[in-house]
Amino acid sequence: MFEGFAHADVDVGEATIHVRHGGKGPPLVLLHGHPRTGATWHRVAPVLAEQGFTVVVPDLRGYGRSSAPAPRSDHAQASKRAMAGDILELMRQLGHDRFDLVGHDRGSYVAFRLALDHPEAVRRVALLDCIPIVEHLDRMTPEFATAWFHWFFFAQPEVPERVIGADPDAWYHGDPDAMGAENFAERREAVHRPEVVRAMLEDYRAGLTVDRADEESDRAAGRRLSMPLLVLWSLHDDLEQLFGDPLEIWRDWAVDVRGHGIASGHHVAEEAPDALARDLTSFFSE
């Protein structure tokens, strides 16, 4: 995977972030979701590098080969603001004060927070398969709670660690042919480490506490993304079925919103890499 990309472990303060980076041109950061690592982008990142971008692919704090601080009672060490700070410092150390940004799934919340808190650093942002956390919670239905039960299960203390740790392969199943053998192996190795599982669960615990509170404060203050926003969602997943048109929701959070669905399941970077790479290339080339 990632032929021609450099690998590094960068100390950003509270965490050490494992990163792959390659290509030449405007900097573009790709942030993965749960329970993936940066390897989920292995079919997309090289294409973007060929299209003239410097592509930066980190593992989020606590995921994959990146470290994370010990859990705190308020889960702030796993907040999206803390994770966004990691990415900002990582990019500064790689020599980039301003960059384009993509986030998928949990990574989209990190990208959203980074773009909202540091608009001077983010030129354009693409968010995949997400709406803000508070918008999910405001639209709570039995269907959402059933389909997305893991949000609330992961938030419970200690029990999820024991359940997942008993058989990580059963919980985090996957198809190595569909994912790519190396991507699958990297993800599998990560979820067999208890400290990674704990950190990933803390991501969700922060989501329902400190991250939710941050978004509620943002909404009350009328804060919105000022840079162009591309919203993409997987047509074979359930985001649109549960919540309607994601663009309508995001228009309350950004001044310039465009986007559409992609014929894919949830892990779009693995399932529809060509379509995704085309959309990202077009948007970030403007």
Q: Decide if 255 contacts 224 (C-beta within 8 A).
A: yes
Structure tokens at 286: 């403007």
Angle at which helix 210-221 crosses helix 106-117, to 10 degrees, equals 40
* Residue 226: alpha-carbon gap to chain centroid: 20
Number of helical H runs and strand E runs in the chain? 16, 8
d(CA 40, CA 53): 18
> How many other CB atoms are there within 10 angstroms of residue 152's CB atom?
11
Where is 210: in which H helix or E strand? helix 210-221
* C-alpha span between 264 and 216 (Å, rounded): 31
> Which residue in the block uniquely carries the two structure tokens 């997400």?
130
Pairing of strands 99-104, 54-58: unpaired
Residues acting as catalytic residues: 105, 266
